[in-house]
Chain A
Amino acid sequence: MHISSPESACRLQPESGAVLLILSGRWSLVRLEQLDRELGRLALRSLVGANLRLDGSALLSIDTAAALLIWRSIAQAGIDPAAVGLSGFSESHRRIVELVRERLGELGGRQQARLPDLLSSFGRKLEDLGRLLLLHLSFLGVAVSALAAALFMPRRLRWRELLAQLSQTCTSAVPVIALVMFLIGVVVAYLLGLQAAQYGANIFVVDGVALGMVREFSPLLVAIIVAGRSGAAFTAQLGTMRLTDEIDAIRTLGLSVEQVLIVPRVLAMVLGLPLLVFVGSVLGLAGAALVCASMLDITASTFIARIDDTLEVRHYLIGLAKAPVFALFISVIGCSMGMTVSRDTRSIGINTTSTVVQSIVAVILLDAFFAILMQELGL
Chain B
Amino acid sequence: MNDPREPVLELQGVVTRIGSQLIHDGVDLTLRRGEIAALIGGSGTGKSVLLREIIGLMKPSAGSIRLLGVDVWAASRAQLDALRKRFGMLFQDGALFSSLDVADNVATPLREHAQVPPGMLAQLVDLRLSLAGLSTLAGSKLPSELSGGMRKRAAIARALALEPEVLFLDEPTSGLDPITARAFDRLLRFLCDDLGITVLIVTHDLDTLLTITDRVIVLGKGRVIANGPVDQVVQVDDPWIRSYFEVRASIIPGALPD
Inter-chain contact B116/A32, CB cutoff 8 Å: yes
Q: Is the CB of A68 within 8 A of B139?
A: no
Interchain CA distance A32-B143 in the complex, whole Å: 29
Asked if residues B139 and A64 are in contact (CB atoms below 8 Å), the reply is no
User: Which of B44-52, B117-125, B202-210, B245-253 touches A?
Assistant: B117-125
Interchain nearest-CB distance for B102 vs A (Å)? 10
Contact A96 B195 (CB under 8 A): yes
Q: In the complex, what residue of chain B is closest to A100 when comparing beta carbons?
A: B127
A61 to B, closest residue via Cβ? B2
CB atoms of A106 and B136 under 8 A apart: yes
Give the complex CA separation of A144 and B108 in angstroms.
47
Residue of A69, A106, A342, A346 touching B117 (CB-CB under 8 A): A69
Q: Which of B99, B120, B143, B144 has the most CB of A within 10 A?
A: B120
> Contact: B195 with A72, CB < 8 Å?
no
Judged by a CB distance under 8 angstroms, whether A248 is at the interface is no
Query: Digit string of A78-118 for contact with B (CB within 8 Å is 1, else 0)?
Result: 00000000000000100110011001001111100000000
- Chain A residues near B122: list those with CB within 8 A: 109-110
Q: Is the CB of B115 within 8 A of A33?
A: yes
Q: Label chain A's interface by main secondary structure.
A: helix
In the complex, which residue of chain A has the Cβ closest to the Cβ of B117? A36
- Complex-state Cα separation, A63 to B194, whole angstroms: 11
A68 pairs with B124, CB closer than 8 A? yes
**A345 CB contacts on chain B under 8 angstroms:** 98-99
Question: What A residues does B143 contact at CB under 8 A?
Answer: 344
B171 close to A (CB within 8 Å):
no
Report chain B residues within 8 Å CB of A36: 117, 120
Flag whether A353 is at the interface (Cβ < 8 A).
Answer: no
Q: For B124, list chain A residues within 8 Å (CB).
A: 65, 68
Known pairs A64-B127, A64-B131, A346-B98; A33 contacts B163 (CB<8 A): no
Interface residues of B in 126-149 (CB under 8 A from A): 126-127, 130-131, 136, 139-140, 142-144
Q: Which residues of B are at the interface with A, using a C-beta cutoff of 8 A?
A: 1-2, 98-99, 103, 114-117, 119-120, 122-124, 126-127, 130-131, 136, 139-140, 142-144, 162-163, 194-196
20 contacts between A and B (CB under 8 A): A28-B163, A29-B114, A33-B115, A33-B116, A63-B195, A64-B131, A64-B195, A65-B127, A68-B127, A95-B194, A96-B195, A99-B194, A103-B130, A103-B131, A106-B136, A107-B126, A109-B123, A110-B140, A344-B144, A345-B98
Known: A30-B114, A344-B98. 15 other contacts (CB 8 A): A28-B163, A29-B162, A32-B115, A33-B115, A61-B2, A96-B194, A99-B195, A103-B127, A103-B131, A106-B130, A107-B126, A108-B136, A110-B136, A344-B144, A345-B99
